[in-house]
Structure 1
Amino acid sequence: MSAYVGLDMVMLEIRPGSASDREWIYRLRHEVYAHELGQHPPNQAERLSDALDDGNVYIVAAHGDRPVGFISVTPPWTGRYSIDKYLSRAGHPVLDREDLFEIRILTVDPRWRGSAAAPLLMYAALRWVAAHGGRVVAALGRTEILGMYLAAGLTGTGTRVHAGAVTFEVLSGQVSELAERTRRHHGPLLRALEPRVRWSLEMPFLPGPPACQHGGASIGAVGRRFGSLPARDDVVPADVLDAWYPPAPAVVELLGGDQGWLVRTSPPAYPEGLIEEIAERRDLPPDSVATGAGSSDLIFRAFCGWLDASSRVLLPDPVYGEYAHVVEQVIGCRADRFPLRRADGWRPDLDRLRDALRERYDLVVIVNPNNPTGVHTDAGDLLRVIADAPGGTRFWIDEAYVEYADSGQSPSPSQSPSQSPPPSQSPSSPQSQSQSSQSQSSPSSSPSLERYAAASGNTVVCKSLSKMYALSGLRAAYLAGPAELAAESRRWGPPWGLSLPAQIAAVHALRDPDYYAECWGRTRALRSGLAERLAGLGADLRVHESAANFALLTLPRSGPTAAGLVAACRRDGVFLRDLSPLSPAFEGRTVRITVRDPDANDRVVTTVATALDRLRATP
């Protein structure tokens, strides 16, 4: 890219191709690929398009109001690629993937060749693919300019195809590797270029730090250094799966007591008391339990201890993004994806999963209910899959939101529930008519697998206390599994890893099961009401009511994008989560909306309705 900088000091705009750009694009394609290169015969209309244009995404470079170049991305949800015209992808494993993005037709007006237009368009295509969950790209690179593609990090496959007088080589690349190469080789240059580029795409010009991208942008309302704490009351944080209800009354009372003592006093170096409380409440052997400062602490600790670069891991797709980040970016091992499909209601095909497990995996991750699809799978069905897996396969089952999918009944008297009153406000909402994953299994037949895991030799269950018990700000979680694996996790954790307020809060939260059972039941009622009202915003919208504390809203392909809706709502103080970066399965059209209290849910629905009206009216 650096070879092009300085050749044009004018500002270029990089923007989505509009309907009005199409005629210019088709005519430039004809000029270049018919007249100049001889790939296609000239035609009387002097314009060149193809059958993929209905699904292609065009990105345009413009100087002022005048386009000067473009690039096209064919996403996997179009169902076909230009490469299919020349070869069988089944015979080329690097191309035979359901999540492949094809970058094609990089074209620059002859008067602008040698400018920064071409490398900026290639960079923009990569940013677009990454923002839509892409992991692998393919391209047909003209052999005479092959060096430009190779310099960008694409790898030649050695396969060449011919179209008229033009010869192309089939190129491919891992998106994460291309992004890292770009950051490493061109980061300073891109930062210098940023003020000279008018970047009008929905994703930022520069990517964030090389870490997993989560929701929770709403916390930015209080300022990076927390100097605007009152501003938290002005936003609706429906972009992160924190509980909408407060912790149990005893927790609030204890944390609000001698705060000076809580802050200045060191916690127990190892949280034996909390482990004992978890073991008693969950009927688990204490040596099968390990605690951590949230689920992510336990994930990093266990995975980095169990896996190395030679390991193989199976991940659902879509799934909580931290898993892929730890496996691929931190540890650097191979992760295969087990695809979940919108057409199946995001339900995992367990027969297909059994078939996938015939290959030997070191670790299989299952999130139940799955985040971000919200589907809950019956525990008995999962046990049968685990039983059929080859020996040596280890399972990690994440149950961060499992209580939302349960019956919501109070635990048995043997668990000594406290007598604290439940929340006083009770929502009343009609039964949602939107798609509900609750119908997939009987809640009462879907308990946690933590007791099974403790007695097993190959299964670990990870449970978050942060989300279900309204302790996200304190960070607390535990895992249950074979004693030797729990001991490893405890050994790999640092002393004082769980703060004193977190330990106190977790212990006393676990002692009030009635309070939380009521909160979880109310959350299910609020979720149904939110899903029904969202579904009523338009017949072209698809709403999926999850088995956790959120709903998914999917926009039509012909309408606004998820990123556009998220940005429009954020301007009005309502934060939603664009799921596009997690997986191409979302097609850039799905947002996740967390259940909040009744007033906040009202504001969410009103803001989404207003934003959709505004976006639909924008040409």
Structure 2
Amino acid sequence: MADIAVHGGAFWDAIGADFGDLRRADEIINADVLDAWFPPDPAIVARLTEHLDWLMRTSPPTRCEGLLAAISETRGVLPACVTAGPGSSSLIFAAFRQWFSGVRALALRPTYGEYAHVLDHVLGSKVDAFDLHREEGYRVDIEALARAAAGYDLLVLVNPNSPTGGFLPRTEVVKLLDLLPETVAVWIDETYLEYAGSPNGWSAESLETEVARRPNLMVLKSMSKVYALSGLRIGYLIAPAERTAELQRQTPPWAVDLPAQVAAIMALRDSEYYPARWRETATLRNQMVEHLVGLGWEVAPSSANFVLADVRTSDLETERIAQAMMERGIFVRAFPEGQEELRRYGLRLAVKDAATQSRLLSVLTEVVKSPKG
């Protein structure tokens, strides 16, 4: 398809998009997408398995009533401020069509490419870039960003950012919001926030509860990457009640399928399994960073389930490394478009379980040290 945002997922070419032989999934490593390295909570899998035939043939609650109540309960937000959808991407498309057609928007660069795509190619909005720089560790200068964004209608902030992994603590984001006029709508995407590992706990870093007192703030949450539910497609948006009512009027009934609603409610109420996996992710990420630095590469500071490396000290550029890895059944994320420096030298790797990650890094080392890649 032409004129769509570029994402990972090339591994489906190896498995087969018709799902004819899913056993092939055990033969490849899909480190080009940012799905969780761990399985869903076993209690969720058991519940879905036990009732799967009924869940597959039964219509879900029309407006996700139980799911919205669970989000409100576990996140401490007003029910009137919550909209659920079949994945965060569907909420981006729906909300931006509703509110941000024809606006002037500012987004970080690099960041998640779907935002620029929707604003520019789908809605015809004007979207400018606030550039982050490799030599500065892709750090975000809050005061400079506030000055730059003050004249725009919309500021988009992914936190932790993708593909860099950079994280702004809640105190910094609140400072940004305080510096901005309320005429600037602020959209914060917290897809990877639970991986951030704050000493105060991830929930202390989220801006979800801040929405109640800021009419210009919207917070998007995905349940794919941190809850290992990517295949079920579930996300939610916290926005001021007036905006939420507008969006829900445009939302069709049965928007989220029944297995996804059951899994999401159980995941939201879990307080042990997932936090333990998030802590393990930090350990695995640190091990990956140590290995990449050992290859002589520069690695951007990351608080997510992935890292961004700069491979310019190698004889090979990113595209060749990615191709050589793919030939060995391992898929990593190169960037075929965007900033020239990132396109040539940026390589993003998803964190994997210890055994899989060991294989990934071993093959990567072999590729880099081979004369031909």
Which TM-score band applies after superposition, normalised by the shorter structure? over 0.9
- Aligned position for 2:283: 525
Alignment of 1:367-386 (within 5 A): 367-386=158-177
Q: Which residue of 1 aligns with 2:145?
A: 353
2:116 to 324, 333, 336: 324
Residue in 1 that maps onto 2:11: 218
2:267 paired with 1:509: yes
Task: Give the secondary-structure state (helix, strand or coil) at the position aligned to 2:237.
Answer: strand
Secondary structure in 1 aligned to 2:367? helix
- Partner amino acid for 1:578? A
Paired-residue identity, %: 41
Select the residue among 378, 386, 389 that pairs with 2:180. Answer: 389
Name the CA distance, whole Å, in 1 between partners of 2:182 and 2:22.
52
In structure 2, distance between residues paired with 1:239 and 1:468:
16
Do the aligned residues in 2 keep the contact of 1:580 with 1:590 (CA within 8 Å)?
A: no
Contact 1:557 1:589 in 2 (8 A): no
Q: 1:448 to 1:475 in 2, by over 3 A?
A: same
Q: Is the 8 A contact 2:160 2:168 kept in 1?
A: yes
Q: Does 1:590 align with 2:350?
A: no
Q: Is 1:453–2:198 an aligned residue pair?
A: no
Q: Per-residue deviation at 1:258?
A: 2.8
Q: Alignment partner of 1:513: what SS?
A: coil
Q: Alpha-carbon deviations, 1:167-200, whole Å to 9, x = none?
A: xxxxxxxxxxxxxxxxxxxxxxxxxxxxxxxxxx
1:573 aligns with 2:329: yes
Deviation track 1:234-254 (CA, whole Å, cap 9, x = no partner) reads: 011111110011111221101
Tell me, yes or no, if the aligned pair for 1:542 and 1:555 is still in contact at 8 Å: yes
- Displacement of 1:584 after TM fit? 3.0
1:454: how far off?
Answer: 2.9
Contact 2:337–2:343 (8 Å) recurs in 1: no
What TM-score results when the alignment is normalised by the length of structure 1? 0.58
Check whether the contact 1:221–1:228 (CA below 8 A) recurs between aligned residues. no
Once the two structures are TM-superposed, the CA of residue 219 in structure 1 deviates from its matched residue by 2.8
Counterpart residue identity of residue 288, structure 2 = L
CA distance in 2, matches of 1:547, 1:271: 31
Q: Which amino acid aligns with 1:258?
A: H
Q: Compute the displacement of 1:481 (Å).
A: 1.9
- Does the aligned pair in 2 maintain the 1:327–1:334 contact within 8 Å? yes
* TM-superposition CA deviations, 1:114-152 (whole Å, max 9, x none): xxxxxxxxxxxxxxxxxxxxxxxxxxxxxxxxxxxxxxx
Shift of 1:470: 0.6
What's the counterpart of residue 94 of structure 2? 301
2:323 & 2:84 partners in 1: Cα distance? 37
- Matching of residues 391-470 of structure 1 within 5 Å: 391-407=182-198, 447-470=205-228
Q: Secondary structure at the match of 2:172?
A: helix
Q: Does 1:275 align with 2:33?
A: no
On the 8 A contact 1:569/1:575 being kept in 2, the answer is: yes
> Which of 310, 318, 338 is equivalent to 1:562?
318
Q: Deviations over 1:434-467 (max 9, x none)?
A: xxxxxxxxx79x6100000133211001011111
Helix, strand or coil at the partner of 1:593: strand
Distance 1:464 1:582 in 2: 24
Cα distance in 1, alignment partners of residues 284 and 144 from structure 2: 34
Code of the residue aligned with 1:348 in structure 2: it is V
Which letter maps to 1:335? V
8 Å CA contact 2:197–2:279 kept in 1: the answer is no
Q: CA offsets per residue over residues 568-589 of structure 1, 9 Å max, x none?
A: 0011111100034243351411
Q: Does the CA contact (< 8 Å) of 2:84 and 2:235 recur in 1? A: yes
**In 2 relative to 1, CA 409–231 (structure 1 residues): closer, same or farther, beyond 3 Å?**
farther
Q: Does 1:611 align with 2:364?
A: no
The answer to whether the 8 A contact 1:455-1:481 is kept is no
Structure 2 residue aligned with 1:553, among 291, 300, 309?
Answer: 309
Structure 1 residues 117-136: aligned runs within 5 Å: none
Segments ≥4 residues shifted beyond 6 Å: none
Gap regions ≥5 residues in structure 1: 1-207, 411-442
Q: How does 1:136-151 map to 2 (within 5 A)?
A: none
Give the CA RMSD over aligned residues: 1.7
1:342 to 134, 140, 144: 134
Inter-partner Cα distance in structure 1 for 2:269 and 2:169:
27
**1:601 and 1:327, CA in 2 relative to 1: closer, same or farther beyond 3 A?**
same
The amino acid that maps onto 1:300 is F
CA offset at residue 408 of structure 1? 7.1
User: What is residue 85 of structure 2 aligned with on the other side?
Assistant: 292
| Cα shift readout 1:284-338 (whole Å, capped 9, x = no counterpart) | 11111111111101100110111223x1000110010100110000001100110
Kindly indicate which of the two structures has a greater share of residues assigned to strand. Answer: 1
What amino acid sits opposite 1:618 in the alignment?
Answer: K
Change (3 A) 1:499 1:326: same
Q: In 2, are the aligned partners of 1:318 and 1:585 still within 8 Å (CA)?
A: no
Residues in 1 aligned to 2:341 and 2:124: alpha-carbon distance in whole angstroms:
23
Which ranges of structure 2 fall in alignment gaps of 5 or more residues? Answer: none
In structure 1, how many angstroms separate the alpha carbons of the residues matched to 2:238 and 2:320? Answer: 41
